[in-house]
Amino acid sequence: MENLEESIGEEENYGIDQEYSDPETGEYFSDDSCDCILDRKITWLSLPRLCLERVFSFLPDRDRKTAALVCRQWHNVMRSPSLWRHRRFHFSGRISKFRKPDYSSTIAYVSHLGAYLERLEVTVCPPRKTQAALRLKGAITQLAPLRSLAVMNLELDRSAWTSSLRASVVGCLISFLQRGSSKLNSICLSGMRNCIHQGLELLSALLHYETRFYPRCYISSLDLEAFFSGSVNVYLNSSVPDNLSQLQCLTDLRLSYSCLSDELLMALQQRHGGGRRKSSRDGNTLQTFLLHCCLKEPHQQLICGSSWATLASSCPDLKVKISVNQVVNNDRLARMLLPEIPLSEYCMSAFYSPNEDWSPKPLLSDILPQYRHTLQHLNLDFGANNFGESLDEELLELVKVCERLVELSICAFLEIRTVARLLDMSLTQSSLKEIHVRRNSNVNLTAHTIKIHTHTHSQ
C-alpha cells in the first residue's frame, strides 16, 4: 500500500511518517500535533475500525486518498484489504499526452493492490489502432488472483487486432486460467468476438481449469454473449455443447442465440442426471439461462420444443430470459419463442420503418400469452414506430392474462387512458409492482416518461 497513489493515478506519497492534512482547514500537522484537534474530531477519530472501513468503502479513490492523510489511524484503516476487493476499469483506447493512459493506472493498481482483488471488471472501448491494442494486451497480462473476472467488449474481430495480437490476448487469458492462482467462480467474456478456433481454445481452458481445481474452484456463472464473432454459425459446432456440458456447477449461463441448438439443450440437461428432477438446493442445477438474439447474428436455426421441455424438467427452478434486438419477423419470433420455454423475462427492441410489413400485434396477442404462467418481467421498446397502429388493447389484454407479471416496461405510442388502465391493473393484480411507460403522444409526437411503483396490499 506504500505505492497506493500509483494505483489511483495520483502523484502524492503515502509514507508512514509523513505529515497529515486536515481536509476541512487545509492545515498540515504531524502525529504529535494530532491531539490538538482530537476534541473537535472526537466523533470521527474514535470510530471503531469496522465502522471506518464501512464508511471508506463508499468513497471514490480521490476522497480515500484525502482521508488517508487525516491521521495515522485512518491511514492504517485505508490499508484494509476489504476496501480493495472490487475494481472496475474502462479502457477508452485513446492516447493523450495530457493524462496518464488507462492501462498505466490499471497495471499500477494490479501491481500494488492486486493481491487484495477478488472481483475485476474491465470494459473496453475497442481499439482503433494496433498500438492501443498492444497496450491493452499488456494490461490483461497483469491479471491478479480473482474470484470474479469480467473482460467485456474486446471485439477481437476488429482490424486493430492483428492476428498475432489476437492470439496473444487469448493466450494471456488461457495462461491466467492455467496458473490456477485464482478461485474463479464467475467469468464474463461478453463482446469478445473470437473466431471459432480461438473461442474453443478458451472454452477448453475453462473446462480444464474447473476439472483441475474442483472442488476448490468451480465456475458457477458464465457470460459468453457475443463471445464468438457474429458471422459464425456456432450452433453447427458440436464442441460448444460438449464443453459446456462438463461444467458441472454452472448455475447461470448467458449466450448468444447463435449458439443455441438441440444438442446444447440436451447437453445442459444431461449435467443433471439425464432428466432426474433436482431443486436449487442441490447447488448445481442451471437456474438462469439468458439468450440474446441480434438481427445481424445467425438466428434461424430450428429448435425442438421437446428439447426445451426436457431441460425444464431436469431443472425445475430454471428461469429463461430472452433478449431480442431488431428481429422484426413474426415467423422467426414464433420459431424462437416456443411454448415449452420456461420464460420469465422477455426484452425486445424493434425500431422498424412504417413501410415494413411487420406488426407487433401477433407478438402481443398470440406469442407472449403462451407464457402467462411464467412471465415476470416484460420490456418492449417499439420507439415511435407504431404510430398509426394502436397496440393499446393487445397490451392491456396481455398484462391481464400474465398472472405472475412483476414488472412492465414499454416505449410506444399509447393513449393516456391506457396508462390509467395499467395503473388500475397494478392495484388489482397483486404480482404487478412496477410499471415504466415511455409514452409517445399521438398529438404532438412528444415523449413522456411515466414510472409507477406499487406495493402489495395486505388482504
Say how far apart CA 219 and CA 207 lie, in whole Å. 9
Residue 65 placed within a domain? yes
Residue 68 placed within a domain? yes
Say how far apart CA 321 and CA 303 lie, in whole Å. 16
Which domain-ending residue is among 31, 50, 82?
82
Q: Tell me the average confidence (pLDDT) per consecutive run of 10 residues in the chain, 459 residues long.
A: 45 36 45 50 73 86 83 84 77 53 63 71 67 63 71 87 88 82 84 93 92 84 94 92 91 96 93 49 78 92 95 94 93 95 96 77 95 96 76 93 93 88 84 81 44 43
In sequence order, what are the residues at sequence separation of 6 or more whose Cβ sits closer than 8 angstroms to the Cβ of residue 407? 376, 377, 378, 379, 432, 433, 434, 435, 436
Q: How many domains does the chain have?
A: 2
Residue 97 placed within a domain? no
pLDDT at 200: 95
Q: Where are the beta strands (DSSP E) in 391-446?
A: 407-413, 434-440
DSSP bridge pairs for 123: 90, 152
Residue 41 placed within a domain? yes
Buried b or exposed e, range 62-100, using 16+ CB within 10 angstroms? eebbebbbbbeebbebbebeebbbebebebebeeeeeee
pLDDT at 103: 58
- For residue 61, which phi and psi values (nearest 5 degrees)? -60, -40
Which domain-ending residue is among 55, 82, 109?
82
Q: Which amino acid is at 268?
A: L
Residue 432 placed within a domain? yes
Residue 127 placed within a domain? no
Residue 12 placed within a domain? yes
CB-based contact 27:21 (threshold 8 Å): yes
Which domain-ending residue is among 30, 55, 82?
82
How far is CA 151 from its chain centroid? 11
pTM: 0.76
pLDDT at 71: 83
pLDDT at 423: 87
Say how far apart CA 181 and CA 233 lie, in whole Å. 34
Q: Give residue 370's domain range.
A: 350-459
Residue 394 placed within a domain? yes
Say how far apart CA 236 and CA 214 lie, in whole Å. 30
